Structure 1
Amino acid sequence: MQASPGGTRGRALPLLLVAAAPDAPLDWLDELEDPRFSYHLAHSGHDTLRDLYRYRPDLLVLGLHVQDPGPWEVLRRVRDMSEDLRVMVAARRFNEADALRALDSGADDVLWRDMPEGLAKALIMARLRRATPVSPPDQLLEDGCLRIDLATREVTMGCQYVPLTPLEFDLLHFLARNAGQVLSPEQLLHHAWRGRPEGDAGKVKHAVLRLRRSIERATGAKAPIETVRGVGYRYVPPASHLA
């Protein structure tokens, strides 16, 4: 079975990225044909990490038999990249040690090959519900320079496409939705991390730095995100930023 096409540009359906080694097929992949979401299949750890940037999926199903690099290194890099992306680890058979290691390493769920029929897909659907596209009146945020499309999770600034990780996207969206307002690290943790503020607020500093770098690489201009020392961060619309 071929995976559904999964491009980033113009995507409206939630996208599932499945990482499965070619010699370790997962039987329930046959259940993934569904009009409510699309999926893309990667066969190696390298391809998985590449496709996380290319497609910005809403959910990752990571097979424990992927190589180059292996699943634990992929999971570590995924969590370095984003604490928000939902990750489900998939194995040929249930193994308690692997399941505990996966959950301790940042996975949200564990799937295995001989699960009861339909259960794997039901769990996937439960995780994807939060990624259902929003209604058209609420899907765009624009200020004359910045354009954020929530349905496709695309960002453009000054007509330049800005590729962002899922966390960077949510961080920019929350800042831009409260343009001009100084937001504390605690507020950003609660909203951009979607209520999963694990650890201290120091992580926000590094996330904002990565967001700025992503914007500046794409646009060649200074990112319109200001640091208010001792208080937090604010997004200043570019026109005001340049004034």
Structure 2
Amino acid sequence: MTASAPRHGTRGRALPLLLVAAAHDVRLEWLSELDDPRFSYRLVHSGHDTLRDLYRYQPDLLVLGLGVRDPGPWEVLRRVREMTEDLRVMVATRSFDTAEAVRALESGADDVLWLGMPDGLSNALIMARLRRATPVSPSEQLLEDGCLRLDLASREVTMGCQYVPLTALEFDLLHAFARNPGQVLTPEQLLHRAWRGRPGEDGDAHKVKYAVLRLRREIEGATGEKAPIETVRGVGYRYVLPGSHQA
């Protein structure tokens, strides 16, 4: 098995993307569980390539083998968590070791996988981490309001006929707003609706402020128009349909 290119673009892709970092001598039959029509994956073999592809492809999940080198897994994990708290990270090891698992979780990993897990369990854990990035039923996959078009199946956003490139978190944040037009959402509500299932959902409302700022910048950069997300001082934020007026 060789490193495979993603089947879709780096953003707005139809399938969630896993970045898998595994040493060259890893038992590749373990990776056969990743051949799943519900997601795509890219395989790399070094810490350097892992960090490079995090920037290049912005995956929805990182599976980090503890056998990778140049740099090693602990340095990769440290640098990943310096870059983002939002990326889901699972570490993979040859055999389960309690001390190693605790170190990984305390360093920012979300789950531990190991060779010899019961059949199907590693795949089920991966799907549990990706559940918010997988397609929904056709009847629920499209949200349109005359300005915004948000497709949950392809995870693509257009606004005013302009494609808006968003990260997975930004997409989920906009989805939370668009499902509740005109309603003021508090930072705590947004943490629950957009961060659910992500590391760090710990009531830290400051992360909401900066995520909304990034979302606004992406919308305004793509459309050249002011983002339809208002700040309600001391309360939270709301999505305002173009042409509507909020008192």
TM bracket (short chain): 0.7 to 0.9
TM-score (norm 1): 0.80
Counterpart position of 1:182: 184
Counterpart position of 2:32: 30
Return closer, same or farther for 1:130/1:146 CA change in 2, 3 Å cut-off: closer
Return closer, same or farther for 1:193/1:5 CA change in 2, 3 Å cut-off: closer
SS at match of 2:36: coil
Stretch of structure 1 that moved more, 136-145 or 62-71: 62-71
> C-alpha distance in 2, partners of 1:97/1:153?
38
Alpha-carbon offset, residue 201 of structure 1: 1.7
Counterpart position of 1:202: 206
Verify the 8 A CA contact 1:82 1:165 in the aligned structure 2: no
> Counterparts in 2 of 1:1-243, with a 5 A limit?
1-2=1-2, 3=4, 5-8=6-9, 11-24=13-26, 26-49=28-51, 51-52=53-54, 55-67=57-69, 70-76=72-78, 78-79=80-81, 83-116=85-118, 118-194=120-196, 197-240=201-244
Deviations 1:123-143 (A, max 9, x none): 334444454310112111222
Aligned-pair Cα RMSD in Å: 3.1
Q: Which amino acid aligns with 2:8?
A: G
Return closer, same or farther for 1:239/1:209 CA change in 2, 3 Å cut-off: same
> C-alpha distance in 1, partners of 2:143/2:6?
27
Q: Which amino acid aligns with 2:7?
A: G
Q: Which runs of 5+ in 1 are unaligned?
A: none
> C-alpha distance in 1, partners of 2:127/2:34?
10
> C-alpha distance in 2, partners of 1:216/1:67?
40
> C-alpha distance in 2, partners of 1:50/1:147?
31
> C-alpha distance in 2, partners of 1:6/1:174?
27
> C-alpha distance in 1, partners of 2:167/2:83?
7
SS at match of 2:183: coil
Return closer, same or farther for 1:106/1:116 CA change in 2, 3 Å cut-off: same
Alpha-carbon offset, residue 68 of structure 1: 5.4
SS at match of 1:234: strand
SS at match of 2:158: strand
Stretch of structure 1 that moved more, 225-234 or 111-120: 111-120
Q: Which amino acid aligns with 1:230?
A: G
Alpha-carbon offset, residue 10 of structure 1: 7.1
* Runs of 4+ with deviation above 6 angstroms: none
TM-score (norm 2): 0.79
Alpha-carbon offset, residue 183 of structure 1: 0.9
Deviations 1:18-59 (A, max 9, x none): 122445455401232233433222334454455446545443
> C-alpha distance in 1, partners of 2:165/2:126?
25
> C-alpha distance in 2, partners of 1:183/1:120?
36
Verify the 8 A CA contact 1:53 1:165 in the aligned structure 2: no
Give the % identical residues: 79
Q: Which runs of 5+ in 2 are unaligned?
A: none
How many residues align? The count is 241
> C-alpha distance in 1, partners of 2:105/2:74?
11
Q: Which amino acid aligns with 1:218?
A: A
Verify the 8 A CA contact 1:178 1:235 in the aligned structure 2: yes
Return closer, same or farther for 1:47/1:163 CA change in 2, 3 Å cut-off: farther
